[in-house]
Chains A and B, each alone.
Chain A
């Protein structure tokens, strides 16, 4: 499936270039600034640094590899800076080791009954804003961008009943996410190549490289059922993850101004 998407994205990007060569005419858009919106689909790759910690944080879902949908909008000037708002939706999967397996390994000689709680919510969103710089050439426009944002992290509680074999002793493990509304900070470096089919419409290919800083915390209450004494501890997972995305889509020029830079400044500010 991954190979299919890779080939699909690559072929689409190459086809845009091919069309551009065929239709290449010395037509340079006369506009000076514009609002645009775009929609694209593609594939994303994310490493899973929380898997290798040996610590179980139950029901923690972060962005994972798979198909993506990207919506973007922005304002950019012909010469040449612009601002970008970018919203992506990535598939999510449980990012940490299986809690029941971890508890069975930790409490040998006990019967472990795991209550899974809420399951993985998919997809997770990534919101970012940043600045871009446009390099127009005939029908082409190459637009690198730097964006700062946050990616959704889904964390939900879970509980497990642990009973000592051969005795009446038992306790409950309850996991509470300290930051269930948590969003990981992100830094994105991206670039898109747009080919203008007409005055307002274009096709583009987009590539992004992301860094994500995760800081996930769970409170664990271990309650002995006989005397109801509670032992509390906190799980903290601070990890850095990287990702890459590639997508192709359609670009729509929503509005544009064709004045000179001086008049444009007057118009906008």
Chain B
């Protein structure tokens, strides 16, 4: 068989391989969630609002605010030709809520996280997520403008009676490769629930 046929076949195979198996390098943009704050929410209307005054207990919520930062830049600029994603440097692992004073069958200091839901809003939908393992939404942002970032928590099993209530929040983080205790604890002001 003529040599040029082998050469041609070899060339075509090479073209096929190099043409079809070009790998796109994945890249990762780390970010930090820091400067946490907590505020009380009144969700009586169509959207939750931060307030200091009395709140209907059926519409009570908490807002955890944080700053998403990345080396002092104003925005993250990600090349579209690379498969890049944003990843939390210290991923959010768990948010726990506690009743500082007991109510109904809840004892003082008891974990009442199951009575809350994360209000997760996207452009096209709204969902309520439980607080046990739904944190990837916050640890791998599809698009994250640098700056303020809110997590709204809604009380879906409120106390049966109106009165003054006192809650606290504990935010736990995973520390990847670094021994760093970044857990955050808030004790919220006493709130009057109607």
Q: How large is the interface on B (under 10, 10 to 19, 20 to 34, 35 or more residues)?
A: 10 to 19
- Residue contact A170 to B126, C-beta cutoff 8 Å: yes
- Cα–Cα, bound, A225→B127 (Å): 6
Interface residues on A, range: 10 to 19
CB-nearest residue of chain A relative to B127? A225
B45 touches A167 (CB 8 A): no
A183 at interface, CB cutoff 8 A: no
Report chain B residues within 8 Å CB of A159.
124-125
Contacts of B127 in A (CB 8 A): 172, 225
Interface membership of A139, Cβ < 8 A: no
Q: Measured between C-beta atoms, what is the minimum distance from A226 to chain B in Å? A: 5
The reply to whether A113 and B46 contact each other, CB–CB distance below 8 Å, is: yes
The minimal Cβ–Cβ distance linking B151 to chain A, given in whole angstroms, is 15
Question: Are A225 and B128 within 8 A (Cβ)?
Answer: yes
Partner of B126, one of A161, A166, A167, A169: A161
> Hey, what's the 0/1 contact readout for A145-189 against B, CB within 8 Å counting as 1?
000000000000001010101111110100000000000000000
CA distance A98 to B46 in the complex (A): 21
Which residues on the A side are within 8 Å of B117 (C-beta)?
168, 225-226
Candidates B46, B58, B124, B128; contact of A167 at CB < 8 Å: B58
User: Beyond A161-B126, A166-B56, is A226–B156 a contact (Cβ under 8 Å)?
Assistant: yes
Interface positions, chain B 21-64, Cβ under 8 Å from A, are: 43-46, 56, 58-61
B90-127 interface code vs A (CB 8 A; 1 in, 0 out): 00000000000000000000000000010000001111
A115 contacts the other chain (CB 8 A): yes
Q: Is B155 an interface position by the 8 A CB rule?
A: yes
Q: Mark A98-129, 1 if CB is under 8 A from B, else 0.
A: 00000000000001010100000000000000
Partner pick for B61 among A165, A168, A170, CB 8 A cutoff = A168
B 108-167 contacts with A by CB, 8 A: 117, 124-128, 154-156
Most chain B CB atoms below 10 A, which of A113, A159, A167, A228:
A167
Which residue in chain B gives the minimum CB-CB distance to A112? Answer: B46
A165 touching B155 by the CB < 8 A rule? no
Contact with B along A43-81 (1 / 0, CB 8 A): 000000000000000000000000000000000000000
CA distance A75 to B124 in the complex (A): 52
- In whole angstroms, what is the CA distance A167 to B193 when docked? 12
With A166-B58, A167-B58 known to touch, is A111 a contact of B124 (CB < 8 Å)?
no
- What residues of chain A lie closer than 8 Å to B125, measured between beta carbons? 115, 159, 161, 172
Q: Which 8 A-B pairs have the closest CB atoms?
A: A111-B46, A167-B58, A225-B128, A168-B154, A161-B126, A226-B156, A166-B44, A168-B43
Chain A residues with a Cβ under 8 A of chain B: 111, 113, 115, 159, 161, 163, 165-170, 172, 225-226, 228
- What are 22 A-B contacts defined by CB distance under 8 Å? A111-B45, A111-B46, A159-B124, A159-B125, A161-B126, A163-B46, A165-B44, A165-B46, A166-B56, A166-B58, A166-B59, A167-B59, A168-B43, A168-B58, A168-B117, A168-B154, A168-B155, A168-B156, A170-B128, A225-B117, A225-B127, A226-B128
Beyond contacts A159-B125, A168-B60: 13 other A-B pairs, Cβ-Cβ < 8 A, are A111-B45, A113-B46, A161-B126, A163-B46, A167-B43, A167-B59, A168-B58, A168-B59, A168-B155, A168-B156, A225-B117, A225-B127, A226-B156
